[in-house]
Structure 1
Amino acid sequence: MTQIKGPGIFLAQFCSDEAPFNDLKSICEWAASLGYKAVQIPTWDKRLFDLEKAYENESYCDEVNAIVRKAGLTISELSTHLQGQLVAVHPAYDAQFDAFAVEEVRHDPKARTEWAINQVKMAAKVSQRLGLTAHATFSGALLWQTVYPWPQRPAGLVEDGFAELAKRWLPILDAYEEAGVDLCFELHPGEDLHDGVTFERFLAATNHHPRANILYDPSHFVLQQLDYLAFIDIYHERIKAFHVKDAEFRPNGRSGVYGGYQNWQERPGRFRSLGDGEIDFAQIFSKLTQYGFQGWAVLEWECCLKHPVDGAREGAPFIEKHLIRTPEHAFDDFAASGQDETLNRKILGL
């Protein structure tokens, strides 16, 4: 059996213009001081990382690795969550998602899609240069506005939507195959890939592409009321990345899964700092260990109540406590009688 690596931390939610969160060197030193051993780096924030420069200049990748290693860390994965979101955007969301793109392609959906596809493809080569084996992203969405349809969806709409989504992602997936990197979709409300069934639809549409994999984040399943432990049993072969994020779901007489357009503090489903929600991480780490998950356990902090620095400080020991060192031999080996065919036959009465 193999052991999960950790703790890691996703830097996206901590970036700011204030030190130590405004450059890669400082934020890595801060993360290391809290006990983290790896960082997941967002590729859209040039205060930390320049994706285009990394693609064009291999020596820049060496510089980034050197900065991270000097802090006593390693890179778990790169992230293109924002760019992946833009691979597929329904026109209803154009105005809201335009800010995720560079200014030159805003207000031009076709150019924005091409830019996003190129961004995620570049991250495949850059991940390879950095010595990484997994990458984190979103799928984007063409169908999300029909998730709870009224009127009902026309026949064939879902199939056509996933066919188009696969058409956009297949060249990207091929780039990751060439780079030897797993592309891990965070299954997330708002994305066309948001649960097991939609992931299966995508697999079918991409001919079960070997690089189409999952970033497992149980918090999004709690908010959907999906069995996050059974999910591991079903999809463990495709789980190649892991966000450790807590959540809780407390329905009431006024709102439930959809949240009533309320702010995060008032919704029944809320993200929480590790240990403050309801997720059974002991069972999650046990199942992932059982199935041989070899990736990083990476904190993603999105609590609606606790200060981010406090959440980060508490997160490293929380993850460390849940890491399972696998045994070198079975617990009952002391009672083994060895292999003896004659003895076996005698025991069987033969």
Structure 2
Amino acid sequence: MRTIKGPGIFLAQFASDTAPFDSLEAIADWAAGLGYKGVQIPSWDARLFDLARAAESPDYCSEIQGMLADKGLEVTEISTHLQGQLIAVHPAYDAQFDAFAAPEVRGNPAARQRWAVDQLRLAAKASRNLGLNAHATFSGAFAWPYLYPWPQRPAGLVEDAFAELGRRWTPILDAFDEAGVDVAYEIHPGEDLHDGITFEMFLDAVGGHARANILYDPSHFLLQQLDYLAFIDIYHERIKCFHVKDAEFNPSGRAGVYGGYQSWVDRPGRFRSLGDGQVDFGGIFSRMAQYDFPGWAVLEWECALKHPEDGASEGAPFIRDHIIRVTDHAFDDFAASDADPAVNRRLMGLG
């Protein structure tokens, strides 16, 4: 067994044009001051990171690593959540997702998708240059608008959607394989990969690709009323990234899991800062230790109520206190004895 690395923090929700959140070095100082040991970097945010340069220049990556190391930090992963979303976009979401892309490809879905593929290929090279072994992203979605089967879905629609998703992702997964990096898809509503079954369908569509893996975030499972502890039992071999994010679901007589089109504050299910929700992190960290999770415990802050800086300051000690320093020996080793076949036979009553 190994001890989970952490605490880490995903910088996407904190980056802004205001100091200290407007450059990687300044936000790293802030994170280190709160007790974080790692940062997950959003690759699309030019204030923090130059993805193309990181893919082309090992020296640039070494500079980033050295600067962070001076502050007691490491890169946990880089993220292409926004670009990954653009690998597969249903036309109903074209206008909403256009802002995720570079200005020159907006309004042109085909060009936007090619740009997104190029971004993922850059991310594979950048991850390799940073010495990382996992990468965080989204899958995109073709079938999500047809989540509820009314009107009835035409036969084969879901199967065709996953086949196309697999066709688009397979060469990207091959590029990550060449770089020696796992792709960890955040299992997330809005993506075609939003629970265990849909992940299995995608895995079939990419031929069981070894680089097709999971970013585990229990908050999305709690809001779907999915057993997030059993999920680890089932899929632990494929879990390569871990977002530590809390949530709560408060049953209502007026709204259900779909939220009634309400704001986050008014939904029965909403994200919360760590410790303010209902997620059993004790159970999660125990299973991560049991199954030898190889990565980082990374805070993702998305609370509907609390100020982000308060969530960040509380998040580092919360994660630190939940990380289990795994034992290097069994508690009853003191009573162990050497193997003796003759003794074992006597104990079994065999002579």
Output the TM-score relative to the length of structure 1: 0.99
2-structure distance, mates of 1:143, 1:76:
31
Shift of residue 57 of structure 1? 2.6
SS in 2 for 1:229: helix
2-structure distance, mates of 1:324, 1:58:
34
Shift of residue 58 of structure 1? 2.6
Structure 1 residues 59-68 or 323-332, which shifts more? 59-68
Post-superposition CA distance 1:151-182 (Å, at most 9, x none): 11000101100010001100100001000000
Shift of residue 332 of structure 1? 0.9
What amino acid maps onto 1:36 in structure 2? Y
2-structure distance, mates of 1:15, 1:294:
27
The aligned counterpart of 1:211 is 211
The question of 1:184 aligning with 2:184 is answered yes
Shift of residue 80 of structure 1? 0.1
What amino acid maps onto 2:184 in structure 1? C
Post-superposition CA distance 1:292-344 (Å, at most 9, x none): 10100000000010000000000000000011111111111112232111111
Post-superposition CA distance 1:220-262 (Å, at most 9, x none): 0001110000000000000000000000001100001000110
The aligned counterpart of 1:172 is 172
The question of 1:44 aligning with 2:44 is answered yes
Q: For 1:171-250, what aligned pairs fall within 5 Å after superposition? A: 171-250=171-250
Q: For 1:256-335, what aligned pairs fall within 5 Å after superposition? A: 256-335=256-335
The aligned counterpart of 1:255 is 255
The aligned counterpart of 1:153 is 153
The aligned counterpart of 1:64 is 64
- Residues 56 and 126 in structure 2, CA contact (< 8 A), matched pair in contact too: no
2-structure distance, mates of 1:205, 1:66:
40
What amino acid maps onto 1:6 in structure 2? G
What amino acid maps onto 1:308 in structure 2? P
Post-superposition CA distance 1:34-87 (Å, at most 9, x none): 000000000000000011122233322122212211221000000000000000
What amino acid maps onto 2:323 in structure 1? L
1-structure distance, mates of 2:26, 2:112:
32
Structure 1 residues 68-77 or 335-344, which shifts more? 335-344
Shift of residue 190 of structure 1? 0.3
2-structure distance, mates of 1:55, 1:344:
59
Shift of residue 141 of structure 1? 0.5
SS in 2 for 1:271: strand
The 3 A distance-change label for structure 1 pair 58 and 336 is closer
What amino acid maps onto 1:54 in structure 2? A
The aligned counterpart of 2:17 is 17
Shift of residue 149 of structure 1? 2.7
- Residues 25 and 71 in structure 1, CA contact (< 8 A), matched pair in contact too: no
Output the TM-score relative to the length of structure 2: 0.99
1-structure distance, mates of 2:262, 2:341:
68
2-structure distance, mates of 1:66, 1:336:
46
2-structure distance, mates of 1:161, 1:294:
32
SS in 2 for 1:226: coil
Segments of 5+ residues of structure 1 without an aligned counterpart are none
- Residues 133 and 181 in structure 1, CA contact (< 8 A), matched pair in contact too: yes
- Residues 84 and 137 in structure 2, CA contact (< 8 A), matched pair in contact too: yes
SS in 1 for 2:13: helix
2-structure distance, mates of 1:220, 1:213:
17
What amino acid maps onto 2:270 in structure 1? R
Shift of residue 127 of structure 1? 0.2
What amino acid maps onto 2:301 in structure 1? W
Structure 1 residues 146-155 or 133-142, which shifts more? 146-155
What amino acid maps onto 2:309 in structure 1? V
The aligned counterpart of 2:115 is 115
What amino acid maps onto 2:139 in structure 1? S
1-structure distance, mates of 2:33, 2:339:
51
What amino acid maps onto 2:4 in structure 1? I
- Residues 134 and 183 in structure 1, CA contact (< 8 A), matched pair in contact too: yes
2-structure distance, mates of 1:118, 1:157:
28
2-structure distance, mates of 1:165, 1:77:
24
- Residues 39 and 74 in structure 1, CA contact (< 8 A), matched pair in contact too: yes
- Residues 7 and 37 in structure 1, CA contact (< 8 A), matched pair in contact too: yes
1-structure distance, mates of 2:57, 2:280:
43
What amino acid maps onto 2:31 in structure 1? A
1-structure distance, mates of 2:226, 2:302:
20
- Residues 24 and 67 in structure 1, CA contact (< 8 A), matched pair in contact too: no
Q: Where has structure 1 moved over 2 Å in runs of 4 or more?
A: none
SS in 2 for 1:13: coil
SS in 1 for 2:44: coil
Between the two proteins, the alignment pairs up a number of residues equal to 350
SS in 2 for 1:14: coil
SS in 2 for 1:248: strand
